[in-house]
Amino acid sequence: MGSIGSKLQEVKRRIAAACILAGRDANIFTRVPPAGQAASGVTLLAVSKTFAAPSVREAHAAGQQAFGENYVQEALAKIEALADLRATLEWHLIGPLQGNKTRAVAAQFDWVHSVDRLKIAQRLAEQRPPGLPPLQLCLQVNVSGEASKSGVAPAELPALAHAVAALPAARVRLRGLMAIPEPAAGREAQRAPHRRLATLLAALRGQGLAVDTLSMGMSADLEAAVLEGATLVRVGSAVFGARARRAAVGAPGADRPPELPGHCGGAALPGPARGHAGRSPDPRALS
């Protein structure tokens, strides 16, 4: 078992090798570059869900700045515990977001990757505190067509993208697309859904939208994603190791059952974890 720092270096090596294979510049960022510059390299987003604040602090000491979280309540506790580092940390929400959690997310996060409804984007825009930079948004797309998973259908994406892009620019900014494809065996099978997402982003750009971010690829398929143009990969287990159960994390609410609809990031009645509209949060978002 290597240190978090050594694991970060190994992930960066994998990203760089994939960039070279794809004929891309092997620029690896530890936080997302400004709008318009994301495609100049690949940002490594360290997915710290279920890992306590000291693990994030160790990763930060090794140079990592962008961190992804799935559960709002767990993330808020971590953000508070790491308040002394806030100026150099970039917090990304990558899990499902319910309307009753948008105010806290609008105030505390820098990015939200999982927007798939206009209502959520509107609430984030309305609740983003004045004085903060615009909240950066990605639209989650269901590229594999899985009925049980979150994400806007590809056919519905253009209308949603244009509506979100029209929200007040001082509060939110549409940056790109995110997807959690169905697991696939073999590099070519892994590349196909990432290629579909890249095609959708190119189509939006062709329609005049200034989008530059492809949030795709995780520990098991980051090479396939980079080969298809990923500008951000979400890597958890390859950085932090095997995931602990939430009860072991020690964050407030970690010993509570997973959320039900309307309780993203908070406590709920006992039962299976669910996403909005009866859809299950995808554990693949965590890796």
Q: What is the pLDDT of residue 245?
A: 60
- Domains of the chain in sequence order: 4-286 (3.20.20.10)
Q: From residue 13, how far is each of 27, 28, 188, 221 by CA, in Å?
A: 11, 9, 21, 14
Q: What is the pLDDT of residue 243?
A: 78
Cβ atoms of 70 and 94 closer than 8 Å: yes
Which residues, 6 or more positions from 183, have their beta carbon under 8 angstroms from its beta carbon?
Answer: 220, 284
Residue ranges for the chain with pLDDT beneath 50: 247-281, 283-286
Q: What is the pTM of this model?
A: 0.85
Q: What is the pLDDT of residue 16?
A: 98
3-state secondary structure of 141: strand
pLDDT tens digits, one per residue of 60-74: 999 999 999 999 999
The number of beta carbons lying within 10 Å of the beta carbon of residue 112 is 27
Over the Cα atoms of the chain, what is R_g? 17
Q: Parallel, antiparallel, or unpaired for β 111-115 and 135-140?
A: parallel
pLDDT tens digits, one per residue of 110-164: 999 999 999 999 999 999 999 999 999 999 999 988 877 889 999 999 999 999 9
Q: Where are the alpha helices (DSSP H) in 143-279?
A: 157-165, 187-206, 222-227, 237-240
Q: What torsion do the CA atoms of 270, 271, 273, 274 make, to the nearest 10 degrees?
A: -110
